[in-house]
Amino acid sequence: MKNIETHSEESWRIFRIMAEFVDGVEVLEKIGNAVCIWGSARTTPYSNWYKKAQALGELLAKNGYAVITGGGPGIMEAANKGAYNAGGISVGLNIELPHEQKPNKYISHLISFRYFFIRKVMFVKYSKAFVIFPGGFGTLDEFTEAVTLIQTKRAEKFPVILAGKKYWQGLVKWMDDCLLKNGYVDPGDIKIFTIVETPEEIIRAIENFYKKK
């Protein structure tokens, strides 16, 4: 009986997965050009990075881009807030966790996911660029997954932009000194992403990428 119940649970899980894909596609197909913004959920509203993420969200909205975040606090809230206050489309792809992540209040389009992998597909499929502000393991996961998809040609190349030269320079130096020198990546792989400082530079980097394309 136990095996039958387990098999039944797995079958229903497939339907839940399909439903999440459908819900995500139905909402995100309508939002137009969008930029995904990542960064630490622990960033406070008093932080300089919070202010820069909010300014970027506002600039993106004024330039016709929707803003997509993970829907939580910190950098995500700041970016959503900027877009929302500017009258733009502010999307939050929230993840349901055992310790519930409460969506921030600056979201015009909220989608909640039970499965991380479906949420990640939505970020990549519907974003014209990834902007990564300072953050921890989750932020690094999204950054490395984006560059890996481009490196392996599993995704069409898109701008991957690190915000904050001082914050990211140690990681990039390690990549040069360890990954590149040992042959674990190619010189071109390090050029998949760029590092900038200001919201204005981020907008220019995105626009220049698609002009060249």
pLDDT tops 50 at residue 118? yes
- How confident is the model over 14-43, as a mean pLDDT? 94
Q: Among 34-48, 56-70, 91-105, 115-129, which stretch is predicted with the lowest mean pLDDT?
A: 91-105
Query: Which CATH number is 10's domain given?
Result: 3.40.50.450
Rg (C-alpha) for the chain, rounded Å, is 18
Mean pLDDT value across the chain: 93
Non-local CB neighbours of 199 within 8 Å, separated by 6+ positions? 52, 55, 56, 59
Per the structure, the count of domains in the chain is 1
Q: Residue 133: which of 107, 109, 162, 154 has the closest Cα?
A: 162
Mean predicted confidence (pLDDT) in 78-104: 90
Q: Is the pLDDT of residue 1 over 70?
A: no
Q: Kindly give, in sequence order, each residue whose CB lies less than 8 Å from that of residue 164, ignoring residues fewer than 6 positions away.
A: 49, 133, 134, 195, 197
pTM above 0.85, yes or no: yes
Predicted confidence (pLDDT) at residue 182 exceeds the cutoff of 90: yes
26-37 pLDDT tens trace: 999 999 999 999
Under DSSP, the state recorded for 133 is -
Range(s) of the domain holding residue 96: 2-212
